[in-house]
Amino acid sequence: MTATRHTVPALVGSVSVSRALKHWGWGYEDEQPSPEELRGAAQFICDRLGFGSPDPEQPVPLSEVSLSEPRLRPPPALQAICATDDYQRALHAYGSSYRDVVRAFRGRFDHPPDVVARPGDEAELEATLDWALSAGAAVIPFGGGTSVVGGVEAAGCESYAGVVTIDLKALDRVLEVDPVSLSARIQAGATGPLLEEQLGEHGLTLRHFPQSFQFSTLGGWIATRAGGHFATLYTHIDDLVESVRALTPIGAWESRRLPGSGAGVSPDRMLIGSEGTLGVITEAWVRVRPRPVYRASAPVRFADFAAGAEAVRALSQSGLYPANCRLIDAREAEVTGAGDGSHALLVLGFESAHHDVERSMTTALEVCGDHGGMWETRGTRGTRGDRDAAVGSWREAFLRAPYLRDVFVAIGVLSETFETAITWERFPAFHEHVVSDVTRVLREVCGGGSLTCRFTHVYPDGPAPYYTILAPARRGAELEQWAAVKRAAADAVIDRGGTITHHHAVGRDHRPWYDRQRPEPFATALRAAKRAVDPGGALNPGVLIDP
Ligand SMILES: Cc1cc2nc3c(=O)[nH]c(=O)nc-3n(C[C@H](O)[C@H](O)[C@H](O)COP(=O)(O)OP(=O)(O)OC[C@H]3O[C@@H](n4cnc5c(N)ncnc54)[C@H](O)[C@@H]3O)c2cc1C
């Protein structure tokens, strides 16, 4: 069968150039809460958590911030696509971690990029790269800037002649759709909503929904091995990538479009997770699918997290592969309004474009029942339908979370997340150790706080636990508090055999623990690969490997 490819026309007016992004946190400047709304939210959060200040602090306006002078100026030929103004440099100085938000909120920009380039096509990207390399600059690829691990920050680039951050967001098109193989060729800078909007015109979807979906990009997902909403089977973007194209300092690196291949070390897998250190990803062929028509979801209560974990283990080994299988501990269910704090909650869901999923749900609920699970309602849906209140509350909280983090900073609540994966047989002891170590450090450093856990993804051989910390922050001392908590969490995870990250990437923040996790011969091979494609060591210095 011959594939009929549709070349997709450029979207007119698809890029919102008029709305300014907030330079210090999540979202657009024009969608920020009013002072009254902020005070109301602050009071609500303080009442619910039992700490934080009902009197929100205000961010330092950019007009009061003084950034260092840019060390580089773009050549005339690139001036139209380059910026050196304070707003663009501040906007691209950090990712979106708690630490990033705190520093930007306080007007602290220690090492902003000197130049922010926004190429409109691959030729402009190549010209930018050539200039930056010849000028002796460090180059930081930038998608949505939603990194939570210091992936886009120019820390440690002082020995370079300057830093050029390349923002990929003008490369935002779905270029081709192959409806026979169900694949699409998409430019790296397309954000979640933009690529879904364009695929939607073909009745197709990628269905990769990280919580940062609104602003993160396909290139960022591939560079960081992002995790989407599928709890099983297609957990990472890796599973959806057919081939990748990147520009490296020594030329283009493009893998073949193949459904699978056993030909040696995979050229696309090597770019997936390269975090901007091997090349700038420009586009990828990804596996797409029709939109789901049949859906079923149910909230299942368990007496405690351990009982829920046993049920999830059985589910993950049953061959049922639910699309959603998020086990949330009692405290997190309470904080998100999905429970009353007396039980753990499993948000279970199935979806399909082809067949009814009722039987799968019935079998899955039987498995849950065998492990003490209880449920009262069960939502069955065609393309749209009712959501159970608990499932709805959880989903709402999930979508609100990125905005809420900015409020936390303003009211003195330290919020941090860390995530990992571990095999089932080690999970109970691992979890106990992590909870005990981090809780102790929270007491010492913050005087208390909460540590909650949920499973974001599950595999037949183990879960991916995701921990959320909320604790009282001392205004002005948040960065020291954060560093102590981060160290305790990362040490606990690595000491007990987990991975330093299941889907948040390594960046600069996880480097010390990543260096402990990876085998030394692998580090030597990665270093050699980096030197081969990036002889000057210009691409995202400090991330993953030193040249
Ligand atoms: C509130 C919130 C929720 C989140 N939820 C999730 C989640 O559910 N799942 C998840 O996996 N992650 C999540 N993250 C983390 C983050 O969104 C992901 O790491 C995401 O993949 C980053 O995409 P981005 O486009 O924003 O990349 P950026 O933050 O811009 O960059 C991330 C890294 O990728 C590199 N990079 C970016 N684009 C390219 C490119 N075209 N070529 C080469 N390198 C590139 C950068 O240099 C950097 O090292 C969340 C973050 C936040 C703030």
* Contact present, 63 and 74 (Cβ < 8 Å): no
Atom of ligand 1 nearest to the CA of 507: 49
92, 126, 142, 456: residue to mutate for ligand 1 pocket, most atoms within 8 A of CB? 142
450-459 sheet: strands from edge to edge: 379-381, 294-302, 344-352, 324-328, 450-459, 462-472, 413-419
The one-digit pLDDT tens for each residue of the chain (547 residues) are 434 444 444 333 333 456 899 999 999 999 888 888 889 889 989 998 999 999 999 999 999 999 999 999 999 999 999 999 999 999 999 999 999 999 999 999 999 999 999 999 999 999 999 999 999 999 999 999 999 999 999 999 999 999 999 999 999 999 999 999 999 999 999 999 999 999 999 999 999 999 999 999 999 999 999 999 999 999 999 999 999 999 999 999 999 999 999 999 999 999 999 999 999 999 999 999 999 999 999 999 999 999 999 999 999 999 999 999 999 999 999 988 889 999 999 999 999 999 999 999 999 999 999 999 999 876 665 443 446 777 777 677 777 788 888 999 999 999 999 999 999 999 999 999 999 999 999 999 999 999 999 999 999 999 999 999 999 999 999 999 999 999 999 999 999 999 999 999 999 999 999 999 999 999 999 999 999 999 999 999 999 999 8
- Using the mean position of ligand 1's atoms as its centre, give its distance from the Cα of residue 144 in Å: 7
Atom of ligand 1 nearest to the CA of 141: 47
81: nearest Cα among 181, 200, 16, 164: 164
- What angle, rounded to 10 degrees, do the helices at 389-410 and 35-49 form? 110
- Using the mean position of ligand 1's atoms as its centre, give its distance from the Cα of residue 81 in Å: 23
Predicted TM-score (pTM) of this structure = 0.95
Atom of ligand 1 nearest to the CA of 227: 11
* Contact present, 328 and 393 (Cβ < 8 Å): no
Ligand 1: residues with CB < 6 A are 95-96, 140-148, 151-152, 168, 188, 210-212, 216-217, 219-221, 223-224, 226-227, 275-276, 280-281, 402, 503-505, 507, 540, 543
253: nearest Cα among 539, 542, 5, 7: 539
- Using the mean position of ligand 1's atoms as its centre, give its distance from the Cα of residue 62 in Å: 24
The terminus-to-terminus CA distance of the chain in angstroms comes to 46
pLDDT for 392: 74
212, 418, 543: residue to mutate for ligand 1 pocket, most atoms within 8 A of CB? 212
pLDDT for 13: 33
- Using the mean position of ligand 1's atoms as its centre, give its distance from the Cα of residue 146 in Å: 5
Mention every residue, 6+ apart, whose C-beta is less than 8 A from residue 521.
none
